[in-house]
A and B are shown apart, each in its own frame.
Chain A
Amino acid sequence: MSAARGYGPDRDGDRAPSAAANRRRTSAARGYGPDRDGDRSPSAAANRGSGDTVLQVEDLHVRFDQAGRRVHAVNGLSYRLRDGRTLAIIGESGSGKTVSSRALMGLLPPSATVTGSARIDGVELVGMPEEEIRRYRGADIAMVFQDPTRSLNPTMRIGSQVTEAVRAHAQVDKAAAKQRAVELLRLVRIPDPERRFHEYPHQLSGGMRQRVMIAIALASDPKVLIADEATTALDVTTQAQIMELLAELRERLGTAIILISHDLGLAASYADEVIVMYAGRAVEHAPTRILFEHVRMPYTRALLEAIPRLERDSHAPLPVTPGQPPDLTAVLPGCPFEPRCGRALPDCKVRRPPLVEHQVGHWWACWNPCEDGEPR
């Protein structure tokens, strides 16, 4: 996988020039500012280990061995995350999106075997002993989980929980830690933080609890914040508030964000780059605008078409993808999406398409990719 992924010259030069022009237009319109523009050029893409990259994941594999069954949850995931950017990892349940991020945090059970490489600022996390990973977990990478009710201790005041997080990462006295905790609560826009400091989680609404979780995650000023379905349990209005908060914090603190979600809408609205995962593999990876305007992987297109949309008429039948996600205990030789794919070729069953950068910045793993504007 990693060889196929190499940022080498295996790019398809023969794609329609109009698409290339389109891309130039869109990436210019996107306006990252002059300091970011260089990132888009192929030479910058080839320049690994630039100071800009905070997290580099290469050929990450995770498998679980339990009761004689071997589940291949993540099969060769590679990406890199740059400072102050948001990367969305999108997939259905069982696609490996959560497992891959927990692997970075060293939060998987003993039945898991993690191989490959994940480096944060050059420090290898995979294979690091537990005592050592504690120095990085929560400090350099922090995580916000889906369920704020279960992530917070119901018997502790929220202020103590935030203070605890502050003191876990910095040698400060109680008073200073408390002051920092109040600052953090203010940072995540909890109204009246001095009073809220003394409240228990059950006295807060779901959105407020998730803000507390974000405050705890930010206590150590992490380089990378992983939001694992952080807004899935929240209402759409609260979700918008939390997402806007994360976007604002990213601007202010320069924290890079990995947004793990099943919701392509969140990716479209809040991410710079999107990875779509299926059966433990990245199947498409591109800057957000490019992905949504030039979908190539039939799976991504199926996802996009299956989402009910406001602009569609009532009762219009949704395009259906038959079948179920594959069983991850067996690794089949072909494309994992082949049995459900409307564009499958005979080849797809026997040869797995590698994830290749077919166009600048746009990677996909498919032998028969979709074209722009064609019907499925």
Chain B
Amino acid sequence: MRSLYERAAEALDRARSGDAFGPTPGAEPEPEPTALAAIALDDEPARRWLAGAQRGDGSFGLTAGPVENDSATGLAALALPPGPERERALDHILSTPARKVPSDPVAPHDPSLAGWGWAPGTFGWVEPTARALLALRLLRPQATGVIEDAVAFLADRESVDGGWNFGNRFIYDVALPPFGQTTAVALVGLHGIHTPGPADELVSRGVDALRRLWPVERGQLTLATSMAAFRLLELADAEEVEIVLERSMGGPVPDMVALGWIALASGPGLLELAVTS
């Protein structure tokens, strides 16, 4: 019987669009699914496509008129080999934190912590921040102040009982509940932080939340990112998630980001994302 990774890798390969990968099988290539697949499959053509898709400012993403979504830059940096393209991507991340917004009683937050947004000049959110954090921890660890701020950002945006909503902790005094997928992605960004104190507790509460969430939120993207988080945290929960993911692979996977995460979570590519020091 073929492993989950073999099945996911085969499905990814079938769904490629030339050298790269689109948001759905055969669709026009985009940086996010291509970066995930490049890491998961150790795929040289996908890496070449990525290098060619880098913008002049070092970023990766989608442009829609005045909107330049650059949130794929962290993943692209992780997919690129050492070299000037990767360094320019990291420089872009460091130079484009989210906009700092004054705290507001309606949506309270620490206004000194920016994080990263989906597009430059907007508010910071959990998923783009977690990606940027992971890229910096692995590839630019000397950016200690920025890394510490990113961890503090995720602590500030943590849901009341642990885990993460998409980025707000409260709206109009209502505590926003954590979501499985955003919690998993945040844990991917935070894994391997072993300093006694707040950061460790943050991860521990996130793990508890994810253990409650993934059995309920059984979409493939949630399951795959949860499995990746558990594996990076060296937790046996990953095996339980894998069993459920295996069962979900009966039909086609329309979301190539989800498929990329499945291949990543179940294969050797995940080691590329492991922060060991």
Q: Do A and B come from one complex?
A: no
Mark A residues whose CB is within 8 Å of B.
Answer: none
Mark B residues whose CB is within 8 Å of A.
Answer: none
